[in-house]
Amino acid sequence: MKLVLASNNAKKLAELGLLFAPLGIELVTQGSLGVSEADEPHHTFVENGLAKARHAAAVTGLPAIADDSGLCVDALGGEPGVQSAVYAPFTPEPGTDREAQRRAQDAANNRLLLDRLAGATDRRASFVCSLIALRSPQDPEPLIAFGRWGGEILATPQGEGGFGYDPLMFIPTLGRTVASLPTELKNAHSHRAIAAVQMIALMRSAWRL
């Protein structure tokens, strides 16, 4: 079974590809099929995930899965939330490729987050992930899974791995930032891992995979 991922993020594809390996599905990005990114006008991860999955399924004619995820910080009332990927104002340098632009945006987002939390004593936060899977754009029974991974925001980045806010997100139970975790450990504990376990069970039950 081929499943289109409603994202062009290569690192997200690699992470989800490993998580969904037990199903034996072929996961491909929408960008590799010439699909543009969908609008994400909503205030919740679930609504934006539905919009992205429906767009990918409509354009490709394939079953689709969308991951809408981000960071919710308690002291900021849930920010950056659904705006996590584009939290900071950012203008890309002309001629830079997509991954270079994404890394520069990530760095700007992290700087803004630290600025907003300057002097804060409550630094609790959660990575959250909604996974939405559709058999078609009109699927009346979308599969919805949700994962939450709690931690706290450090004052300085630590670690070279991962992406996004991973260098700032410290997981007390593991004693490290997400960016410091080996891939295997991250994939065993992350918000995407939690949601993926739920989604795999839903796909096996509802889609008979």
Is 139 marked active-site? no
- The H or E element spanning position 15 is helix 10-19
Choosing from 67, 68, 106, 166, which is the catalytic residue?
Answer: 68
Going by their DSSP bridges, the two strands 2-5 and 143-153 should be labelled as unpaired
CB 178 within 8 A of CB 186: yes
Residues with a catalytic annotation lie at: 68
